[in-house]
């Protein structure tokens, strides 16, 4: 039996807000396997980003366990890199230096670092812009730099927190195609948070639907249709209807069934 890459065991996380404890996600349990492209789908406020924060190691659960390669996650690490919706690129560095940033924490020579960074900039099609400043780029280009930066440290898991949420429709569609291309080239385990059902259906091998308050796992389904996906395909239509149904009645359904 294949060892899961990431395991959530009965994870609950709450935050103190105005001196009241508010549970964000409640008793979450699921496994994620290597090389899977998983979309975490749910409405705003269902705790999707919290799940990524937990995996990235920014925050710790109040109860339950989160394992990465069977070890408890204690702190952020470049084996699990996160891509932010607002890019979080460092404006005081140019494009190339943003991509090299993570590599400078490793014991690598300057030439090696530059070579790797250029390779990833090339991969996202921006090597011509290596000396540009961040403010000279469009939103879509910024996010491509951010993805290159996250991939350059060669993580095992790539976490994306609504990465295309701030982009216009056309750019968003291009970026989805781009991401799938990168994923098939680099073969990472991908966790992609989105609130768009269609985006999840377009991208994911597997969709985890989170909903309710506090957020619970409502639905866990695999999508085995080959890409690019035809939205008239019967399996897609079927999964889509089920997801919409679960999201419409979050309180009546719990756990996973297909």
Partner 1 sequence: MKVVLIRIVFFFVLFLIWYLVVAVGKLPSYILPSPFEVFNSFYYGFCKGGYLIAIFSSLIRVLIGYFLALGVGVLTGIMLARYYLLDITFGKTILALQSIPSVAWVPLALLWFGITDNAVIFIIILEAVLPVALSTKNAMKNIPQNFIRAAQTLGSKGLHLYKNVIIKAMIPELVTGLRLSWAFAWRALIAGELFISGAGIGQTLELGRSLADMAQVIAMITTIGVIGFLTENIFFGTIERKVRFIWGLEGQK
For residue 94, give the DSSP letter.
B
Residue 255 makes contact with partner 1 by CB under 8 A: no
- Is the CB of 26 or the CB of 162 nearer to partner 1? 162
CB of 115 to partner 1, least distance (A): 18
**From residue 153 to residue 182, what is the string marking binding to partner 1 with x (rule CB under 8 A)?**
x-----x-----------------------
Residue 69 makes contact with partner 1 by CB under 8 A: no
Q: What residues have CB less than 8 Å from 210, skipping those under 6 apart?
A: 25, 40, 41, 42, 46, 47, 48, 51, 216, 217, 218
User: To the nearest 10°, the Cα dihedral for 98, 100, 104, 107?
Assistant: 170
Residue 82 makes contact with partner 1 by CB under 8 A: yes
Distance separating alpha carbons of residues 244 and 197, to the nearest angstrom? 8
Interface with partner 1 in residues 41-60 (CB under 8 A): 56-58
**If binding means CB under 8 A, how many residues of this protein chain bind partner 1?**
29
Q: Which of 88, 128, 177, 248 binds partner 1 (CB under 8 A)?
A: 88
CA 157 to centroid of chain Cα atoms: 9
- Point out which residues bind partner 1 (CB under 8 A): 56-58, 75-78, 80-82, 84, 86, 88-92, 101-102, 104-106, 133-135, 149-150, 153, 159
């Amino acid at each position: 039996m294949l060892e899961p890459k990431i395991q959530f065991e009965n994870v609950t996380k709450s935050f103190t807000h105005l001196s009241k404890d508010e549970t964000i996600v409640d008793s979450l349990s699921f496994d994620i396997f290597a090389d899977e492209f998983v979309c975490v789908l749910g409405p705003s406020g269902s705790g999707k980003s919290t799940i990524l924060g937990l995996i990235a190691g920014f925050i710790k659960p109040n109860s339950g366990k989160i394992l990465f390669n069977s070890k408890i996650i204690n702190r952020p690490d470049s084996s699990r890199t996160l891509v932010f919706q607002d890019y979080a690129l460092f404006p005081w560095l140019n494009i190339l230096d943003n991509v090299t940033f993570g590599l400078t924490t490793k014991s690598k020579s300057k030439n090696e670092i530059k070579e790797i960074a250029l390779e990833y900039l090339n991969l996202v099609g921006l090597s011509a812009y290596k000396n540009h400043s961040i403010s000279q780029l469009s939103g879509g280009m910024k996010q491509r730099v951010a993805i290159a930066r996250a991939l350059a440290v060669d993580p095992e898991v790539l976490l994306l927190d609504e990465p295309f949420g701030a982009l216009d429709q056309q750019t968003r569609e291009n970026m989805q195609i781009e991401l799938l291309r990168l994923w098939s080239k680099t073969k990472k385990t991908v966790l992609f948070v989105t609130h768009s059902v269609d985006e999840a259906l377009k991208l994911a091998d597997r969709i985890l639907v989170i909903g309710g308050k506090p957020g619970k796992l409502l639905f866990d389904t695999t999508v085995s249709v080959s890409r690019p996906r035809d939205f008239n395909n019967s399996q897609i239509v079927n999964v889509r209807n089920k997801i919409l149904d679960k999201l419409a009645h979050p309180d009546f359904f719990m756990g996973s069934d297909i």
